[in-house]
């Protein structure tokens, strides 16, 4: 509650004097099925939700990881999506190995800070692959307490592979649909 109130105050303070030239109606008027932006928005909405729906139907735990992996791949240009896909899965695997090393080398009292270290690493990373490595730390730091180390690492890798592969296939299918 306190965090929500603080966020509201900051947004109000920073945005209260802004004048918006576009109305909600203008946004709907800009919808054009032939524009690249609209195609990407449709791909993103249906790609992420379909990936998470499939995960939900399969009763996959922590299915948000699949949604996040898919979301990170579903970018406007297919070549960029392929580059991200080539970085995300290896980045997660490297992140899992580094997390395992930290888990076994550091005392248990430090485990809670591994996620914070990962967040700082994401912020300082220059490439998407490095961001994927550090992003894994926070996810595993939380999931390890719920699923155990081995299951958390297995879930993280499997769900990222599924999310990436699904997103690439979904992108290809929608590109063919849009081309017609």
- Picking from 47-51, 74-78, 131-135, 151-155, which range would have the lowest pLDDT averaged per residue? 74-78
pLDDT band at 31 (very low <50, low <70, confident <90, very high): confident
Which H or E run includes 93? Answer: helix 78-105
**How many CA atoms within 13 Å lie on the side-chain side of 49?**
6
The whole-angstrom separation of Cα 125 and Cα 143 is: 23
- pLDDT, tens digit (0-9, with 9 covering 90-100), for 92-141: 999 999 999 999 998 988 888 888 889 999 999 989 889 999 999 989 98
* Residue in 146, 168, 150, 161 with CA at minimum distance from that of residue 65: 161
To the question of pTM greater than 0.85 for the whole model, the response is: no
Q: Which two tokens stand for residue 155?
A: 């879930």
Phi-psi region of 31 (alpha: psi -120 to 50; beta: other; left: phi over 0): beta
């Amino acid at each position: 509650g306190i965090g929500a109130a603080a966020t509201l105050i900051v947004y109000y303070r920073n945005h209260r004097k802004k004048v918006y030239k576009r109305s909600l109606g203008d946004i709907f008027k800009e919808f054009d099925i032939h524009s690249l932006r609209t195609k990407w928005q449709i791909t993103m909405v249906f790609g992420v939700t379909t990936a998470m729906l499939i995960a939900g139907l399969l009763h996959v735990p922590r299915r948000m990881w699949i949604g996040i992996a898919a979301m990170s791949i579903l970018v406007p240009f297919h070549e960029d999506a392929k580059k991200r896909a080539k970085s995300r899965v290896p980045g997660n695997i490297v992140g899992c190995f580094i997390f395992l090393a930290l888990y076994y080398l550091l005392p248990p009292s430090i485990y809670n800070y591994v996620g914070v270290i990962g967040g700082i690493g994401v912020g300082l990373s220059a490439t998407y692959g490095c961001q994927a490595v550090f992003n894994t730390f926070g996810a595993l730091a939380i999931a390890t307490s719920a699923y155990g180390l081995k299951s958390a690492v297995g879930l993280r890798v499997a769900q990222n592979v599924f999310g990436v592969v699904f997103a690439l296939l979904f992108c290809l299918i929608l590109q063919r649909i849009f081309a017609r």
